[in-house]
Homo-oligomer: A and B are copies of this chain.
């Protein structure tokens, strides 16, 4: 049993068509320049051997790669999954493929991933950085591999970036609650948070400070077993806090869902006793009981725009730039005035 590995090469096509490899190459890349008759013979031969162009060989010759890397926290996370889908679709017009990897927020995994992507000769990399040190990214960029920052502010870096104003998102949530009359507000976060969550927390803190209030900072260990359960288990600490908060801003919708569930189990009414705000506006948010007030951001578009920026890096007059999206407060039924608003007046 002869295992014909891969489709035939250009040489085989040339042999069958009775022409040289360069003529086959011409048929493929500038058909107009080849005599109609020859072209026909070559096309027949291409079908006959089931010719498939060899990407690596093309790349070795210096043609642009069709591979684009995506480096995120976790491609199973619904947020990054949507972002990746956005990247995939943004890449499609250029015929590029998505090489996706997860860092689990570990700088060592990130570094290794970047290394592998560089070896593959990717056309560029979209990354939601796990580490705080941007120098590996600048190094990649200096070596000619375009890097686009995702869900991350550009600051003074000489790179393209797609960012959401996370601090504003936090501020919107806090101001909504302050406007409702809340004075004791908690932020439910993880023991170790990715940068966007840190910025949300600081946004909340800043808004509270501007109103002369202090943030109650509650941290849960996320990993074992799950954010959902960790958030539900945080209820005790929230209720025990003194002064007890009348509102909780959660790091994301998943945490909010867990918290909602834990509060319900504890017999605490939402929003009558405690208001809850999520972040992300996952599809389920509006179907929860009560429908969740949350801050939305354009997940899919984030990825799509990142892909477009990346593809643009190859074009002549490209200059690095940052595209900034604004988060959006979506008020539903999980927030309301605090119970004893009168006595706060």
Chain A residues with a Cβ under 8 A of chain B:
3-7, 50, 52-57, 59-60, 65-67, 74-78, 81-82, 84-85, 88, 95, 97-102, 115-121, 142-145, 226, 228, 232, 254, 257-258, 260-261, 264, 283-284, 287, 289, 300
Distance A206 CA – B121 CA, assembled complex (angstroms): 52
B226 & A53 in contact (Cβ 8 Å cutoff):
no
Which residue of chain B has the shortest Cβ distance to A303 in the bound complex?
B76
> How far apart are A218's CB and chain B's nearest CB, in angstroms?
19
Residues of B within 8 A of A257 (CB): 284, 287
B228 touches A287 (CB 8 A): yes
- What are 12 A-B residue pairs whose CB atoms fall within 8 Å in the complex? A5-B144, A6-B121, A50-B143, A52-B115, A66-B119, A67-B67, A75-B88, A88-B100, A95-B116, A97-B116, A97-B120, A232-B287
Find out whether the CB atom of A4 lies under 8 angstroms from the CB atom of B84.
no
The residue in A7, A74, A100, A121 that gathers the most chain B C-beta atoms within 10 A of its C-beta is A100
With a CB–CB cut-off of 8 A, which chain B residues contact A283? 226, 228, 254
Give every chain B residue within 8 A of A119 (Cβ-Cβ): 52-55, 66
Write out the residue numbers on chain B whose beta carbons fall within 8 Å of the beta carbon of A60.
54, 56-57, 60
Complex CA gap A32/B92 in Å reads 45
**Closest residue of chain B to A225, judged by CB?**
B283
- Measured in the bound complex, the distance between the Cα atoms of B74 and A15 in whole Å is 41
Beta-carbon contact of A121 and B56 below 8 Å: yes
Q: How far is the CB of A233 from chain B (nearest CB, A)?
A: 13
Q: What CA separation (Å) do A143 and B9 show in the bound complex?
A: 12
Those 5 A-B pairs whose CB atoms lie nearest each other, nearest first = A76-B85, A56-B56, A5-B144, A81-B81, A56-B59
Contact status B95-A98, CB under 8 Å: no
Residue of A85, A232, A254 contacting most chain B CB atoms (<10 Å): A85
A206 to B61, CA, bound (A): 58
Nearest to A120 among chain B residues (CB) is B55
Question: Which residue of B82, B85, B144 contacts A3 across the interface (Cβ within 8 Å)?
Answer: B144
Residues from chain B with Cβ under 8 Å of A54 in the complex: 60, 119, 121
Contact B66 A76 (CB under 8 A): no
* A82: chain B residues within 8 A (beta carbon): 76
Residues on the B chain within 8 Å of A59, using CB: 56
Q: How far is the CA of A260 from the CA of B52 in the complex (A)?
A: 50
Distance in angstroms between the alpha carbons of A199 and B185 in the assembled complex: 49
Q: Chain B residues with Cβ under 8 A from A121's Cβ?
A: 6, 54-56
A56-B60, A144-B4 known; A67 vs B120 contact (CB < 8 Å): yes
Shortest Cβ gap from A113 to chain B (Å): 8
Please, how many angstroms separate the alpha-carbon atoms of A264 and B289 in the complex? 10
What is the bound-complex CA distance between A116 and B55, given in angstroms? 9
Contact between A75 and B67, CB atoms less than 8 A apart: no
Which B-chain residue is minimally distant from A83 (CB atoms)? B76
- In the complex the two chains form, what is the Cα distance from A82 to B115 in whole Å? 24
Q: A56-B59, A116-B95, A283-B228 are in contact. Are A75 and B66 (CB under 8 A)?
A: no
What residues of B have a CB within 8 angstroms of the CB of A101 in the complex?
88, 97-98
What's the nearest-Cβ distance from chain B to residue A311, in Å?
A: 16
Q: Tell me which residues across on chain B come within 8 A of A284, comparing CB atoms.
A: 228, 257, 284
A99 touches B102 (CB 8 A): no
Whole-angstrom CA separation of A345 from B101 in the bound complex: 56
Residues on the B chain within 8 Å of A117, using CB: 97
